[in-house]
Chain A
Amino acid sequence: MSTTSDRLDGIPAAEVADVELYHPRSWITKYVFSQDAKIIGIQYALTATAIGLVALALSWLMRLQLGFPGVFDFITPAEYYQFITMHGMIMVVYLLTALFLGGFGNYLIPLMIGARDMVFPYVNMLSYWIYLVAVLVLAASFFAPGGPTGAGWTLYPPQAILSGTPGGQDWGILLMLLSLMLFIIGFTMGGLNYVVTVLQARARGMTLMRMPLTVWGIFTATVMALLAFPALFVSCVMMMLDRLLGTSFFMPALVEMGQRLNHDGGSPLLFQHLFWFFGHPEVYIVALPAFGIVSDLISTHARRNIFGYRQMVWAIVIIGALSFVVWAHHMYVSGMNPYFGFFFATTTLVIAVPTAIKVYNWLLTLWRGDIHLTVPMLFALAFIVTFVNGGLTGLFLGNVVVDVPLSDTMFVVAHFHMVMGVAPIFVIFGAIYHWYPKITGRMLNEAMGRIHFWVSFLGAYLIFFPMHYIGLLGVPRRYHEIGETAFVPASAHTLNAFISVMALIVGAAQILFLFNLAWSIRRGRPAGGNPWNATSLEWQTPETPPPHGNWGRDLPVVYRWAYDYSVPGAARDFIPQNQPPARAAE
C-alpha cells in the first residue's frame, strides 16, 4: 500500500470518493439492485450461464437429431431450425458477449485499474436489468405461439419474416428482434461505463502501458462493440418495420408459395451488409477479451513476463481497427459485387499477421518459463491449440476462392465453433478457475477441475476437428437431416453419430463444472488474498472477497507494469504492481 502523503496530488477529485458512500443499506440494494460492479458482474455471469445452459441443451437435441436421424422423431424440422437459431444467437450474443464484457468486464476492470467502482454505478445497474429483460424476452419466445424463430442466427430476410420459416409470421422473429434491441440498449449503458472507467478512474501511476492485457482486451472490445452494435440495431428496426408495417427495406418483390407479396424493390443484401458490419467485429468483441485474459493466465502461471507486451497491445488495437473492414468476407457467395472479393480477402488475410504475432508471443512466454500446470494454465494451453486450429481454417474461408466450395458447409460450422466457440469458452473456464478464489475466497476443487479439463479439451477437439472433413465432402450446414445423398458415403453417417456421442459427453462434463462451482463456495480450500502469487492489482486488495469500494481507505498507487515475474535480483518471483521500488528487494 502506498503512503497517504502522496495520495491526493494528481488524483482527479471525482476519484477520491467518500468511502462511506459504499455502504448499501439493505440486503436488496447489496445483492439484488446492487450498484457494485462486482455484484453486477456476477449477476451478468450467472444470467449468461443460465441462458447458456439452455443453448447447451439445444445443442444436445440438435446433435441427437443429426447423429441419429429418424430415431428421435419428436424433433421436427421446424424445431430443429428453432434449436439451431436459438443456440447460435444465445451463444454468440447472450452468453459470450455478455459474459466477457458484462461479466468479466464489470468484475475485473475496476479492480485491475485500481478504481473503487465503475464511474456510473446507477447506469451500470440499469444495464444488467435491461440485459435480464432481453434474456427473458428471448426465453419467452419458446412459449409464444409458433415458437421461437428458426431463421438461423443470421436472420437473413426474406425468409426470416416469411411463413416458410418457423416463427416468421408468428411471434418468434418479433421477440428475437425486440430482445436484441433491448440487449443493445443494455449493453450500450454498460459499455459507456467500461470505456469511461478505463479512461477516467485509473489509479495513480496506472498508465495505459501498465494495464494488464485483460483490461486492454476488454477496453478495445467494448469500444468496438459500441460502434458495431448500432448496425445490428438498425437492421433489427428495419426488419421489424418490414415485417409489421409492410415497408420494403430488405424485401424485394417476391412470390411466396404462389402468392405475390406487397413488398417491392428491397434488398436482402443490404441486410447482410448491415448484419455483418456488426457480425464480424462481434467475432473480435469475443476474441479480444479472450486474448487479453489468456495472456494474463499464461504469464501468471508460467511465472514469466508476457513476451512482447508492446506488440501485444499494438496487435489488439490493430486487430480491433482492421476488423471493421473485413465484414464482407462472410458474403463472398452472397451475390454481392464479385470485385469486392479482392479487397475483403486481402484485409482478412492481413489481419492474420497481428493475430499470429499474438500466438507467437504466448508461445514465447511459455518458452523458458516456469510452467505451473494449474487448471487455468491447462485451459490456456487448450485455448492455444483450438484457437490456432480455428484461426488457420479461417485462412481457408477468408481466402475468397477457397471459400467458394466450403461456404455454407459443415466446414464453416467446425471452423467457427473451434475459433469462437471452443477457444473463448476455454478462456472463460480458465478465467473462472483463476479468479474464483478472488470472487469467493475459496479455491475450486482441483481434481474436478482436471477431469473437467481433460473431457472438455479432448472431447471438444474430437467433435470439431473431424467435422471439417464432413464439410469437405460438401455436406451443407443447417440440414436437419443429410438423408440419402449421392456424394455422402455411409461412413460419414457413422462419423456424425460419433460426433454426437462426444457432444453429449462434453456437455455432461459441464455439469461437473457447475457442481464444482457450487460445491467449492463452502467446501473449497480457503484461498487467501493472492493464491497464485500474481502481480496485478486485483490480487492486492486488502480484503478477499473485496467489499464494495474495493480498496478500503486508500486507493492503490501503481509503480510498475503488471508482468514483473521472475525479475532478476528480486527475492520472490513476482513483484506486485503497487509495490514501491525501494521495497522490491525485500
Chain B
Amino acid sequence: MLVAIALALVAIGSVVFHVMSPWWWTPIASNWGYIDDTLIVTFWITGIAFTAIVLFLAYCVLRFRNRPGHRAEHEPENKRLEWWLTIGTTIGVAALLAPGLIVWHRFITVPPEATEIEIVGQQWQWSFRLPGRDGRLGAVSVRLIGPDNPLGIDPADPAGQDDVIVEGGELRLPIGRPVKVLLRAVDVLHNFYVPEFRAKMDMVPGQVTFFWFTPTRTGAFEAVCAELCGLGHAVMRGRVVVVEESEYHAWLERQPTFAPRLAAAQ
C-alpha cells in the first residue's frame, strides 16, 4: 500500500514540480524558437509516457500485491499486446525524431546573407573578430600567433587589414541580422554558450567550427564556457550585447582595426 502510494506520489509529484518549477529556460533572444518548440513536444511525449508508466506500476503494486490465496497468472507472452505497444512506441519516437531532424537541418544550413564573425577561445578568455568595411575576415594561422598578433591574422592577406579585434571585452551584434559564428580555439576545447541564443558548438584547436543565429532581442547577455577547458573553466565568461543596427555601425567605426594595430606594435 505504502509502496503504491509512494510510486504514485513520485509520478504526480514530478508533474507538479515540472509545472510549478520557477527554474525554466531563459527568455529566448534568437531565431531558435524552433528548438524550444521541439523541446516542448519532447516534454509532452516523454511526460505522458513517464506518468503513465509509473502510475501503471503503482496500480500493479496495489492490485496484484501478495495476499493470502492470491496466485499469479501464468502467461508467457501476448503477441497482440506486444505489437500494439511496439507500434505505439515507434509512433512516439517518430514524432520526436521527425521535428528534431527538420530543425537540425535548419540549424546547420546557414543562410547566404549571414555575416561572418569570429569568436576565439583561449585559456581563459574570449576574443572576437568582426569584419571591417569589406565585410570579410582575413586568413588566420596558429603559427602567426604572437604578442602583437593574438589571433594569428595573416598580415599578408588584404581582407584581414580592416578586421576589428576585441580582446576580452564584449561582443556587439546588430539585431535582426543573421550571423555565422566561426569558432576557433588556440589551446584547448572551449564552447561559447549564451543560453538565450540556444545555439552552441565546441571550439576545437586545429579546425574552424561554426553555428548561426539571428539575434531577435536587444540587451546584454552573459556567455559561459560549456566545454571543460581546465582550471579557469567556470570563470571564463563573456558578454554579448545586441543593439540596433545604426548603433552597431557607430560602435564598429570606433574600434581599432588590425593593420594600424600591428604597425603600432612594431
Contact = CB atoms under 8 A, between A and B. Distances in A.
Task: Decide if A and B touch, CB cutoff 8 A.
Answer: yes
Given A368-B73, A385-B54, A393-B46, A473 B96 contact: no
A364 B42 contact: no
Contact of B89 (A151, A352, A480): A352
A366 B205 contact: no
B100 A402 contact: yes
A521 interface: no
Interface stretch (B17-25, B154-162, B169-177, B246-254): B17-25
A50 interface: no
A566 interface: yes
B74 A568 contact: yes
Contacts of B26: 473-474, 487
B90 to A, nearest CB: 6
A152 B101 CA distance: 30
A339 B97 CA distance: 15
Interface string A353-381: 10011011001101111111100001001
B71 A158 contact: no
A544 B54 CA distance: 37
Given A311-B82, A474-B193, A476-B224, A372 B66 contact: yes
A293 interface: no
Contacts of B76: 305, 307-309, 563
Interface string A241-273: 000000000001111111010000111110000
A352 B187 contact: no
Contacts of A565: 72, 74
A166 interface: yes
A85 to B, nearest CB: 9
Interface in B85-107: 85-86, 89-90, 93, 96-97, 100-101, 103-105, 107
A506 to B, nearest CB: 15
A373 B209 CA distance: 54
Given A404-B199, A480-B234, A491-B22, A255 B142 contact: yes
A357 B186 contact: no
Contacts of B49: 388, 392
Interface in B111-154: 122-124, 142-143, 145, 147
Interface residues of B, number: 99
Interface in B184-223: 186-189, 191, 193, 195-196, 198-207, 209, 220-222
Given A371-B64, A381-B57, A307 B75 contact: yes
Contacts of B25: 405, 472-474
B183 to A, nearest CB: 8
A358 B156 CA distance: 63
Interface in A226-248: none
A489 B21 CA distance: 12
Contacts of A385: 7, 10, 54, 57
A359 B66 CA distance: 22
Nearest to B234: A479
A357 B234 CA distance: 41
B14 A465 contact: yes
B143 to A, nearest CB: 7
A255 B193 CA distance: 22
Contacts, number: 324
A469 B122 CA distance: 29
Given A371-B65, A384-B57, A396-B42, A573 B71 contact: yes
B235 interface: yes
B75 A495 contact: no
Interface string A510-541: 00000000000000000000000000000000
A170 B1 CA distance: 56
B189 A373 contact: no
A345 B97 contact: yes
A396 B100 CA distance: 10
Main secondary structure of the interface of B (DSSP, over half): mixed
Nearest to A480: B234
B38 interface: yes
Contacts of B74: 304-305, 565-568
A366 B101 contact: no
A255 B186 contact: yes
Contacts of A399: 38, 42, 96-97, 100
Contact of A388 (B50, B187, B231): B50
Interface stretch (A10-18, A138-146, A191-199, A330-338): A330-338
B205 to A, nearest CB: 5
Contacts of A268: 189, 204-206
Contacts of A356: 85, 89
B263 interface: no
Nearest to A346: B97
Contacts of B81: 364
Contacts of B202: 333-335
A400 interface: yes
Interface in A300-356: 302-305, 307-311, 333-335, 338-339, 341-342, 345-346, 349-350, 352-353, 356
A395 B96 contact: yes
A404 B221 contact: no
Contact of B57 (A265, A363, A407): A363
Contact of B35 (A257, A342, A404, A476): A404
A400 B42 CA distance: 12
A158 B189 CA distance: 7
A353 B200 contact: no
A395 B222 contact: no
A280 interface: no
Contacts of A478: 228, 233-234
Interface of A: 77-78, 81, 150-152, 156, 158-159, 162, 164-166, 168, 252-258, 260, 265-269, 302-305, 307-311, 333-335, 338-339, 341-342, 345-346, 349-350, 352-353, 356-357, 359-360, 363-364, 366-373, 378, 381, 384-385, 388-389, 392-393, 395-396, 399-402, 404-405, 407-409, 457-458, 461, 465-466, 469-470, 472-474, 476, 478-483, 485-487, 489, 491-492, 495, 563, 565-568, 573
16 contacts: A77-B232, A78-B231, A156-B227, A156-B228, A165-B231, A302-B72, A335-B209, A373-B3, A381-B7, A399-B97, A402-B100, A465-B14, A466-B23, A469-B17, A487-B196, A563-B76
